[in-house]
């Protein structure tokens, strides 16, 4: 992952905000001027042509287009018309802006100038393919090298360097690979929409197609209600005052803001019942089902574990049903930290659009809404301490444990962040059961939980502190009554 402080992130925020402002103020009639201004502002790349391709690609993504499905040579003004005439949510996905991709060198081990040409030569002695020879310095024959890394791990000077391809290296399911030109491409069938590649590319060459424009169109039109369903990970994303953040959403034009943590009350209730039933039926273990990136991982990459996945709905599903009952003709917009929620929403008839917190920050800035200077509002539904903690690793498992209490033997185990190794562990669990005799597996794709999702704004550790404080002020879920 890129460090939180870098020069790319402000540029990506600026692009989103500029597009949102252009729509709010000018219906995107000045989009070509916006593009030119951004190109003049950002020139911190050796190839300005590639920099411009990145900016244009990110503008197109903000308009809702997938890079691989649109001709990047078309005028922005032409594509604006297509975007503005669109009547349904664009199909969600992640894509590579090919002209902006740096075509990073594949994983390679190379000897640096730190090599001392030592007598011991553990690099040469331990190489399984005899790919290393040493004269004054060590030399690696790349034709023989199998990229195992044994040489690097044995060098006493740390003189052997491994080059990495950030997006490939971070993908837990190997869904991104080089094409024949050496540029990256995403296999949409394998992709779980976790967004890790997006967070790792230092060139802004990977994008997600936002549904921000579609939501702004409905808000600006004003002929129907638009309702925001806000995930528990909102804590700390828009300042420290949740009430002001809720008021900020309403200042944007949302007719109501509903707490997704209230939907988590239903998830906890049903998942605890399902766990007890499965254990009584002799199941070896059960896994959570809240994380859509994990659910797709199980379905596509670890089908042998799919039978252990809970059938209980996510908090988004339950709260969307409630929202549709309250506002039958409204457009329902889920807002959270997760790009994979967009895939889940495509199979949920009650969710029309999905935004991430970064989209909303752009909308707030574009409209000139300062959440710190407006009067606080509040949710109409009360969520519990346990449900508010769904956004952090361990939160789901502990909420279910609280309701199970003495009703069953409950032994949780957690995967805190999906990685290549974690996927291997899932395959092992499906065959041999959970480690340490556990019988409940909570899987969070993002390390730390949803509070660290790719759509978040604040740093996870800071946001977690704010969330924990807010959660501690809630009632125990056993004290709340739900239907």
How far is it, in rounded angstroms, from Cα 202 to Cα 195? Answer: 14
How far is it, in rounded angstroms, from Cα 147 to Cα 220? Answer: 55
pLDDT value at position 158? Answer: 96
pLDDT value at position 475? Answer: 95
Domains defined along the chain, listed by start: 8-103+176-210 (no CATH), 108-163 (3.30.70.20), 215-479 (no CATH)
pLDDT value at position 430? Answer: 97
Tokens of 87: 């009547």
pLDDT over threshold 90, residue 153: yes
pLDDT band at 72 (very low <50, low <70, confident <90, very high): confident
pTM of structure:
0.94
pLDDT band at 481 (very low <50, low <70, confident <90, very high): confident
CA 42 to chain centre: 26
Q: What is the mean pLDDT of the chain?
A: 96
How far is it, in rounded angstroms, from Cα 465 to Cα 290? Answer: 22
- Dump the DSSP string for 367-418: HT--GGGS-----SS---HHHHGGGSTTHHHHHHHHHHTTSS---EEEEES-
How far is it, in rounded angstroms, from Cα 404 to Cα 398? Answer: 10
pLDDT in tens, 2-49: 888 999 999 999 999 999 999 999 999 999 999 999 999 999 899 999
Tokens of 252: 């944007």
pLDDT value at position 223? Answer: 86
pLDDT in tens, 375-391: 999 999 999 999 999 99
pLDDT value at position 4? Answer: 86
pLDDT value at position 92? Answer: 92
pLDDT value at position 253? Answer: 97
pLDDT in tens, 465-478: 999 999 999 999 99
Phi/psi for 230 (5° steps) reads -105, 125
- Dump the DSSP string for 203-234: TS-EEE---HHHHHHHHHH-SS-EEEEE-GGG
CA 330 to chain centre: 26
Under a CB-based contact definition with an 8 Å cutoff, are residues 352 and 225 in contact? no
pLDDT value at position 39? Answer: 97
pLDDT over threshold 80, residue 483: no
Q: What is the DSSP letter of 106?
A: P
pLDDT in tens, 256-270: 999 999 999 999 999
pLDDT band at 482 (very low <50, low <70, confident <90, very high): confident
């Amino acid at each position: 992952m890129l460090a939180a402080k870098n020069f790319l992130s402000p540029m990506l925020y600026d692009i989103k905000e500029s597009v949102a402002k252009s729509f709010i103020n000018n219906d995107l009639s000045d989009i070509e001027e916006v593009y030119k201004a951004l190109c003049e502002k950002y020139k911190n790349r050796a190839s300005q042509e590639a920099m411009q391709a990145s900016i244009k690609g990110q503008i197109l993504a903000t308009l809702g287009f997938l890079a691989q499905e649109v001709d990047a040579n078309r005028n922005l003004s032409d594509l604006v018309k297509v975007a503005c005439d669109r009547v349904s949510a664009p199909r969600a996905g992640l894509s590579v802006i090919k002209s902006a991709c740096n075509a990073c060198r594949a994983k390679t081990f190379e000897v640096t100038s730190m090599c001392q040409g030592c007598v011991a030569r553990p690099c040469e002695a331990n190489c399984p393919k005899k790919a290393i020879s040493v004269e004054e310095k060590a030399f690696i024959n790349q034709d023989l090298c199998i990229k195992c890394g044994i040489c690097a791990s044995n060098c006493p000077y740390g003189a052997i360097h491994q080059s990495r391809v950030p997006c490939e290296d971070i993908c837990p399911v190997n869904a991104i690979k080089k094409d024949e030109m050496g540029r990256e491409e995403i296999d949409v069938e394998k992709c779980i929409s976790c967004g890790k590649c997006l967070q790792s590319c230092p060139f802004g060459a990977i994008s997600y197609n936002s549904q921000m424009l579609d939501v702004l169109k409905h808000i600006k039109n004003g002929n129907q209600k638009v309702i925001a369903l806000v995930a528990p990970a909102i804590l700390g994303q828009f300042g420290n005052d949740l009430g002001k953040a809720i008021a900020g959403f309403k200042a944007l034009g949302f007719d109501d803001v509903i707490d997704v943590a209230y939907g988590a009350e239903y998830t906890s209730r049903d998942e605890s019942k399902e766990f007890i039933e499965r254990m009584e039926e002799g199941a070896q273990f059960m896994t959570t089902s809240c994380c859509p990136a994990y659910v797709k991982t199980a379905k596509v990459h670890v089908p042998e574990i799919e039978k252990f996945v809970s059938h209980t709905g996510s908090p988004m599903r339950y709260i969307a049903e409630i929202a549709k009952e309250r506002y039958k003709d409204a457009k329902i917009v889920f807002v959270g930290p997760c790009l994979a929620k967009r895939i889940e929403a495509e199979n949920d008839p009650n969710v029309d659009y999905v935004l991430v917190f970064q989209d909303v920050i752009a909308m707030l800035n574009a409209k000139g809404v300062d959440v710190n200077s407006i009067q606080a509002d509040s949710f109409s539904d009360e969520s519990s301490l346990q449900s508010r903690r769904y956004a952090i690793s361990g939160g789901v498992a502990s909420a279910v444990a609280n309701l199970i209490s003495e009703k069953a033997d409950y032994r949780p185990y957690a995967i805190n962040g999906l990685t290549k190794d974690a996927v291997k562990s899932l395959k092992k669990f499906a065959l041999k059961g959970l480690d340490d005799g556990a019988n409940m597996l909570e899987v969070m794709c993002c390390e730390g939980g949803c509070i660290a999702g790719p759509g978040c704004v604040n740093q996870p550790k800071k946001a977690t502190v704010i969330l924990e404080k807010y959660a501690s002020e809630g009632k125990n879920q056993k004290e709340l009554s739900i239907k």
